[in-house]
Structure 1
């Protein structure tokens, strides 16, 4: 509780510098680049709860950490990182909802993995350096392409076409041997029409957790043709990551207390009984994206957009495994020195090789009273899952590159939508949004458990949304919206439960926005009512993926406050806070061999209090300093309110400084950036897992449920420093 009181004391005085959204003039002429994401974004007065982040906002903290960490101070956001320091595998939850239920698009193209529904930002190394703007919608939001949003959607727009030529060289370094090197350029508009721009990046880190290293290489390249009414944009970007695994977390409480960076991944015992660590216990994956966008203004009121996408992903994770049963790999028993051998130490690789195709098309009609967008999206995904044993102490006859399991997943997603905003007069406007989505998912072959895995499901979802906005005056507007959403299970959901159901959500949002020159506050109340919500159970599978299951009826009820207070031209205060109640209405669990009705319980990973603040000081031109604080209340990692599954609250503070030195000769400017994370050196845990199993052997006449938990410690005090040369 002391953390909460400490934060509220600051909150009374003082969020994120990222949440300072400016009210936009409704008559502002959109750029052609902005139209690329118009189908998935909303404007400032829309009855959809959202926050906008600009390129300038991101630049102040972009020193190598992933997008989720850069969004940490937005309202209702909780982030975590396996390696502990914001580089490598990172995660984001909004309103307590997992990443599998957060829709992500890049230039309107769905980015969520079609099978797992998750987003793996590690595959988009340094994408933050190529972001023009980003919009985070909380709740169901507006209709979007790809899998539906069940708590949030993140819509990314990459670099806009630059009128002028430029170049940038950025380098940063910091704790845990973290470093980032980025080279960017643009030709500017050649003959007022053609631009070529690109980026080349490398990020490396040893990680806070032992051996949790990251080596991430990426590039971004675009070629654009621009005229008064036409934008043609060809984009390719790619990420190649090799990260040492750190998804096991830490279960040993003594080590958590005294050796919190200990990493069990890769641990094994050699023939002499000594503890060793396999040096290549890594995740090795590459993802290549190719996008083509054509935006055409047909007349003053009409425009169209066509987008094509191809994504190729391929890679594996490698593990040293001890005493594995032959039967788990299709091996036959051996006789060695007269003894039967049916277990072995081995090294395995589990592969994913996938292809993803997308076509998006939409048209927009806009006049002074009516703004209509309609269109559709089609995607096709095919993913090959297979495993190899690349070394074994004992093995039967086999050929190199033999597969011990093979499976294929295929998914088709077809959706159509129409959305409109009708402005009745200066005060009232109505928003409507209808989407029909058809999803088919089929798997064949066997899973990594060497059992048949066959899914053949088709879903048709109807997702209506409606809202109304009342603008009292140019400083105040009020809104109310209702949205219905449906979402299919993912691949792991089917593996855990063949009878898994799609989840359904009714989302009610009521808000007030007040803006004036020196004070801004957004207040939003939400009620998210679920049927068969796919909640995190707290358990992980054998590759660190979070497991989910249907929870029957559940709800999330909350209040979000987000403010910006300008004390003077030099000093501002920006607080936000979310207060919520997140409940399973009737939870049934198998405990000690009996089904027990636990009644109303807390939804896993859903803290009741999430808050942030920022004190921002600009003492001289070009210099900005910010003291950033984040409080996350206690939360359960299970849906049974088990005490062992509780994560304590935490309160951490970062310090961010940036200074731009203007130059007259070789460079236009030099930007110096510094970030001191967790400056009060708090030992905190932002994520973990919880599991149970039944003990039937200690007493054959009694079933006893045994609990276990693991934790992901986050980095203590650490720093990053960087410099960007602009020319």
Structure 2
């Protein structure tokens, strides 16, 4: 089909009381540059009534008669207050905001965010953008319509363990921060959002940067970064509840509250959430709970805020996926899985019965159990008219285990003696073990910002962080069918990991000429990483690694005309290997190398909010971004997984990703909007040698050739058509396409994920009765066309029972047609 090229978020219009006389709309821009400010909040008489979209436009569909106060706020800008007179005719109010004003607490967040001066590719989403997408699915699914994004779910329906890839890079290469504090696990580099269910309900703003982007705290951005803020404070008291129910016995319930501004200085906000589901896959249930609490003090030049949030998850293990015969029904292939010991006869019979919803595990408590508690203390302090500083102390406490039933395990592998029953000596037993993580992550971050009010030609930031991670890995036996010397909760392995990470960066933008701006950014990052002890197979995983990285960045922007800009940038990103790159190799093998990325970005932006193409208020945004990401020693997935579902990786000397991202957005009078994104890319490894294994598991190395990087589709598109046929009623169609993805780097079509297309439908209807502020009803129908598709998988091959090379593919099927319905009430 023909792709429309579009990006951004649809206009938000919250209708007021039924006796209103006329609509008010307008735009919000930066007074210095004229650029749009998406995500600004518009208050009418103290009540949040609209938010600006990607083009900086807002609309209030009806304003009561009389004089009213219109207040506009945006992070890092002085609030603007003006009067508006309710009248029959439509009114257009265009407003400009100045930097500065009362600190909002986001000095740390804005220090890491990109803008039109930093010459990088990014997407901003505000609270309202996320809210209309949020029916209880994990945060990656709320970002599915943003450029170059591919998402997947182990359980198949977007709740539980989910993953996101941007430009083909998994979340281990996506830097995630919450309020400027790193979220990525220090060892695996992954961000496990299953540990923070319903986080989106507490997010005030979010930015996705693609490529290396600006300097961030935490791990390097090797494909993108996701910068999350929960620091917003609402000036009026509120109470809300959101409730969803849907397919696969999925439930979401939350309660949110806030005191508003008390005595002009104090705020308290909170949230309690619960999400549960049986999952699309059999035996793939999740039970997720979370809370969020924030208490703050603010004055004109000071904001002090304590934030704590936590998540606890219990999820049945679905990370094995399903064997290929479960999808195809190929009985000959199924017999090959049996002949090679990949499946038992009992497993194969369940494959025949359960089909694509097959689950490998049958033990009733084969579950993952984890809790993560976050504590943050933020200070934002104004230092005169032109300077401010943001600083934070943080602590993350994580602990939990996954429990597994193990059949016919050797006593010796667990440090146990052989059991003697009668006159027989038993060397194996069935048992249940738990593998634990027990960790602390703590440190501090800061950002000193120079933002002059009078002369805005130069803006600068000096920032950095010091972080420490301590993690104990150990296993316990909680039951054995036979055992001679088993103590309660006996440990069979233990290792401890310690990692220290500190960095400093300096960044500045300078408007050298009226139309020419330049940007520079340098970062120095140092890492010390040690592991001592043994892993579950009694292999020594002692590791000593130290790295120092210097990461420069530079760019330039050129204004062609009003609302039109050219930009180009160059950035270097480097990062250390993850834990599995050390522990899943032979003892003492520390050959995994650090990765280096040289990222070239360039493009064109057009933003206009004053056109009359499809009506008196037509807003248009278009961006074409080209990228060339040149890697040295990139660690790419081999297609195989370790015993906890983590992809195994190998260094490749030279590789690259290059392509173009096209995004556009058009909206007509808040009645209809169309947004689209299209990414076309080429992702290649140079001189790649495919490695397989013979019957004795000895490696067999193939000839060198150029090949496609695993899990990197050449084409990704997303399209949203949204309309408002009636007051308060919004309908949307969401269409997603992803081209073929290879499970390993062999570019073998027999080891790949087929292209897929998914159509979703969303409807939201809001009313404002007299007894509450608002009631909103919502319906999300996923996979309307009922397609059977998979979005993730893994593979491995060896010389098998057939005498030739046997390949074993495992996939993660996604749910067929399903729905989520919601009811939201605001008090």
Above 0.5 in TM-score?
yes
Q: 1:264 aligns with which of 359, 363, 366?
A: 359
Alignment of 1:497-508 (within 5 A): 497=585, 498-508=590-600
Contact 2:6-2:622 within 8 A present in 1 as well: no
Contact 1:15-1:629 within 8 A present in 2 as well: no
Superposed displacement of residue 556, structure 1: 0.1
Structure 2 Cα separation of the partners of residues 82 and 127 of structure 1: 19
Structure 2 Cα separation of the partners of residues 113 and 179 of structure 1: 28
Structure 2 Cα separation of the partners of residues 172 and 261 of structure 1: 26
Contact 2:280-2:357 within 8 A present in 1 as well: no
User: 1:724 maps to which residue?
Assistant: 824
User: 1:39 maps to which residue?
Assistant: 111
Superposed displacement of residue 239, structure 1: 0.2
Contact 1:64-1:126 within 8 A present in 2 as well: yes
Task: Tell me which moved more, 140-149 or 493-502.
Answer: 493-502
Q: 1:387 and 1:639, CA in 2 relative to 1: closer, same or farther beyond 3 A?
A: same
Superposed displacement of residue 333, structure 1: 1.6
Superposed displacement of residue 255, structure 1: 5.2
Contact 1:538-1:689 within 8 A present in 2 as well: yes
Structure 1 Cα separation of the partners of residues 250 and 7 of structure 2: 26
Alignment of 1:283-432 (within 5 A): 283-367=368-452, 368-432=456-520
Q: 1:566 aligns with which of 667, 672, 678?
A: 667
Superposed displacement of residue 451, structure 1: 1.1
User: 2:568 maps to which residue?
Assistant: 480
Give secondary structure in 1 for the equivalent of 2:194: helix
Contact 1:681-1:717 within 8 A present in 2 as well: yes
Superposed displacement of residue 364, structure 1: 0.7
Structure 2 Cα separation of the partners of residues 429 and 623 of structure 1: 43
1:70-119: CA deviation from partner (whole Å, max 9, x where unpaired): 10110000000000000000000000001111100000000000011101
Alignment of 1:163-182 (within 5 A): 163-182=235-254
Alignment of 1:576-725 (within 5 A): 576-591=677-692, 594-665=700-771, 667-695=772-800, 704-725=804-825
Structure 1 Cα separation of the partners of residues 111 and 412 of structure 2: 51
What TM-score, normalized to structure 2?
A: 0.83
Does the alignment pair 1:441 with 2:529?
Answer: yes
Gaps of 5+ in 2: 11-37, 39-52, 57-73, 75-95, 330-351, 610-618
Superposed displacement of residue 428, structure 1: 0.9
Q: 1:507 and 1:255, CA in 2 relative to 1: closer, same or farther beyond 3 A?
A: closer
Task: Tell me which moved more, 332-341 or 587-596.
Answer: 587-596
Give secondary structure in 1 for the equivalent of 2:318: coil
Superposed displacement of residue 618, structure 1: 1.3
Superposed displacement of residue 550, structure 1: 0.7
Contact 2:584-2:642 within 8 A present in 1 as well: no
Q: 1:120 and 1:254, CA in 2 relative to 1: closer, same or farther beyond 3 A?
A: closer
Superposed displacement of residue 664, structure 1: 2.4
User: 1:274 maps to which residue?
Assistant: none
Superposed displacement of residue 495, structure 1: 1.5
Structure 1 Cα separation of the partners of residues 242 and 5 of structure 2: 35
User: 1:271 maps to which residue?
Assistant: none
Superposed displacement of residue 27, structure 1: 4.0
Superposed displacement of residue 13, structure 1: 8.5
Give secondary structure in 2 for the equivalent of 1:39: helix
Contact 1:387-1:406 within 8 A present in 2 as well: yes
Q: 1:27 and 1:476, CA in 2 relative to 1: closer, same or farther beyond 3 A?
A: farther
Contact 1:438-1:461 within 8 A present in 2 as well: yes
User: 1:75 maps to which residue?
Assistant: 147
Gaps of 5+ in 1: 1-7, 267-276
User: 2:132 maps to which residue?
Assistant: 60
Superposed displacement of residue 385, structure 1: 0.3
Contact 1:556-1:581 within 8 A present in 2 as well: yes
Q: 1:450 and 1:339, CA in 2 relative to 1: closer, same or farther beyond 3 A?
A: same
Structure 2 Cα separation of the partners of residues 630 and 294 of structure 1: 41
Superposed displacement of residue 29, structure 1: 4.3
Computing the radius of gyration over CA atoms, which structure comes out larger, 1 or 2?
2
Structure 2 Cα separation of the partners of residues 600 and 26 of structure 1: 52
Superposed displacement of residue 681, structure 1: 0.4
Contact 1:637-1:690 within 8 A present in 2 as well: yes
Superposed displacement of residue 61, structure 1: 1.9
User: 1:273 maps to which residue?
Assistant: none
Task: Tell me which moved more, 240-249 or 358-367.
Answer: 358-367
Contact 1:60-1:657 within 8 A present in 2 as well: no
User: 1:3 maps to which residue?
Assistant: none
Give secondary structure in 2 for the equivalent of 1:723: strand
Superposed displacement of residue 712, structure 1: 0.2
Contact 1:567-1:573 within 8 A present in 2 as well: no
Contact 1:250-1:256 within 8 A present in 2 as well: no
User: 2:55 maps to which residue?
Assistant: 22
User: 2:554 maps to which residue?
Assistant: 466
Contact 1:141-1:152 within 8 A present in 2 as well: yes
Q: 1:539 and 1:632, CA in 2 relative to 1: closer, same or farther beyond 3 A?
A: same
Superposed displacement of residue 662, structure 1: 1.2
Task: Tell me which moved more, 715-724 or 40-49.
Answer: 40-49
Q: How many residues align?
A: 703
Does the alignment pair 1:452 with 2:540?
Answer: yes
1:499-550: CA deviation from partner (whole Å, max 9, x where unpaired): 1001000000011100112321111000000001111111111111111111
User: 1:4 maps to which residue?
Assistant: none
Give secondary structure in 1 for the equivalent of 2:110: coil
Alignment of 1:188-337 (within 5 A): 188-254=260-326, 257=329, 259-266=354-361, 277-337=362-422
Structure 2 Cα separation of the partners of residues 128 and 14 of structure 1: 24
Give secondary structure in 2 for the equivalent of 1:134: strand
Structure 1 Cα separation of the partners of residues 149 and 130 of structure 2: 16
Give secondary structure in 2 for the equivalent of 1:33: coil
Superposed displacement of residue 698, structure 1: 7.2
What TM-score, normalized to structure 1?
A: 0.94
Give secondary structure in 2 for the equivalent of 1:37: helix
Alignment of 1:528-539 (within 5 A): 528-539=629-640
User: 2:198 maps to which residue?
Assistant: 126
Structure 2 Cα separation of the partners of residues 520 and 299 of structure 1: 36
Superposed displacement of residue 15, structure 1: 5.9
1:110-161: CA deviation from partner (whole Å, max 9, x where unpaired): 0000011101000001101000010000000100001110000000001511
Structure 2 Cα separation of the partners of residues 88 and 364 of structure 1: 39
Contact 2:106-2:380 within 8 A present in 1 as well: no
User: 1:511 maps to which residue?
Assistant: 603
